[in-house]
């Protein structure tokens, strides 16, 4: 049936890169990616804010149906982040406490739901990373169809199976597989600059001369 299939994942970002991104702010990664990629402001952490990083195992399902998500939980390897495009619909929850407990027991890296979750109080007390667009008590259906390990899009951000998915309290972001090393190097440099700025603020030596220079270049009057 068209739109109802399980595909093999052909590649995945290296565990060493996953570990290095885990300690970097998502905002820094976003900045070096020209602030052009985002999964949408609606996708928020539903857990205690613990950082998330791991290779994507993608799922596209019909809004309100989680049959393929259950299968993805069994297919995912330790460290994988299951990313589910459920159409952003908030009518029915795609996952809840039981599925998250199972994912944590299997040592997955996290779950992203472009849709709703339930059992939110329990999930918020936990450290297992869960991102979603909303909460509802209404449960899901289990009829399909859906696709595992196909390309998906969250608010225009394309995610391919094996891409790096990262998240923190500011939201989440996908780093394409082929750009991981370039983005990592640029993010390290950006983070170093910001650490130096924080040190200068603490020492009272931060140079803010760029503000007037920028205003002058833009033709601002009254300087």
| DSSP classification of residue 146 | E
**Separation CA 119–CA 131 (nearest Å):** 13
Which tokens hold the place of 197? 């700025």
Residue 118, annotated ligand binder?
Answer: yes
pLDDT band at 90 (very low <50, low <70, confident <90, very high): very high
Task: Evaluate if residue 75 carries a pLDDT over 80.
Answer: yes
What percent of the chain clears pLDDT 70, i.e. is strictly above it? 100
pLDDT band at 39 (very low <50, low <70, confident <90, very high): confident
Read off the pLDDT of residues 186-218 as tens digits, 9 standing for 90 and up.
999 999 999 999 999 999 999 999 999 999 999
Residue 98, annotated ligand binder?
Answer: yes
- Please give the pLDDT value at position 95: 98
Nearest residue to 53 (alpha-carbon basis) of 82, 22, 23: 22
Q: In this structure, how many other beta carbons lie within 10 angstroms of the beta carbon of residue 186?
A: 16
Residue 31, annotated ligand binder?
Answer: no
Residue 119, annotated ligand binder?
Answer: yes
| 28 contacts: CB under 8 Å, gap ≥ 6 | 187, 190, 191, 194
- Please give the pLDDT value at position 78: 98
Residue 96, annotated ligand binder?
Answer: yes
Task: Evaluate if residue 1 carries a pLDDT over 80.
Answer: no
Task: Evaluate if residue 67 carries a pLDDT over 80.
Answer: yes
Task: Evaluate if residue 40 carries a pLDDT over 90.
Answer: no
pLDDT band at 223 (very low <50, low <70, confident <90, very high): confident
Q: Give the residues across from 175 on adjacent strands.
A: 164
| DSSP classification of residue 63 | T
Straight-line distance from the first to the last Cα atom of the chain, in angstroms, rounded to the nearest whole number: 67
**Mean pLDDT in residue range 150-179:** 96
- Please give the pLDDT value at position 187: 97
Query: Three-state DSSP class for 38?
Result: coil
What are the structural domains, with CATH classification, of the chain?
4-185 (3.50.30.40)
Residue 94, annotated ligand binder?
Answer: no
Task: Give the angle 44-40-119 at the CA atoms, nearest 5°.
Answer: 30
| 137 contacts: CB under 8 Å, gap ≥ 6 | 93, 118
pTM score? 0.93
Q: In this structure, how many other beta carbons lie within 10 angstroms of the beta carbon of residue 210?
A: 8
| 69 contacts: CB under 8 Å, gap ≥ 6 | 59, 61, 82, 84, 94, 95, 99
* Alpha helical stretches, state H, 76-179: 97-105, 120-125
């Amino acid at each position: 049936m068209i739109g109802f299939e399980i595909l093999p994942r052909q590649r995945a970002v290296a565990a060493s890169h996953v570990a290095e991104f885990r300690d970097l702010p998502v905002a820094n990664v976003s900045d070096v990616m020209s602030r052009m990629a985002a999964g949408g402001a609606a996708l928020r952490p539903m857990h205690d804010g613990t950082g998330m990083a791991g290779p994507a195992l993608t799922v596209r399902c019909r809004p309100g149906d989680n049959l393929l998500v259950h299968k993805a939980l069994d297919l995912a390897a330790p460290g994988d982040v299951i990313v589910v495009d459920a159409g952003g619909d908030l009518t029915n929850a795609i996952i809840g406490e039981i599925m998250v407990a199972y994912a944590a027991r299997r040592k997955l890296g996290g779950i992203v739901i472009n849709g709703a979750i339930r059992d939110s109080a329990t999930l918020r007390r936990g450290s297992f990373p869960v991102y979603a667009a909303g909460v509802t008590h209404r449960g899901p259906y289990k009829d399909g169809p859906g696709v595992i390990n196909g390309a998906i899009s969250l608010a225009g951000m394309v995610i391919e199976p094996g891409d790096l998915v990262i998240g923190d309290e500011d939201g989440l972001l996908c780093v394409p597989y082929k750009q991981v090393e370039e983005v990592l190097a640029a993010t390290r440099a950006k983070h170093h600059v910001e650490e130096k700025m924080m040190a200068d603020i603490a020492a009272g030596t931060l140079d803010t001369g760029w503000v007037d220079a920028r205003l002058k270049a833009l033709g601002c009057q009254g300087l």
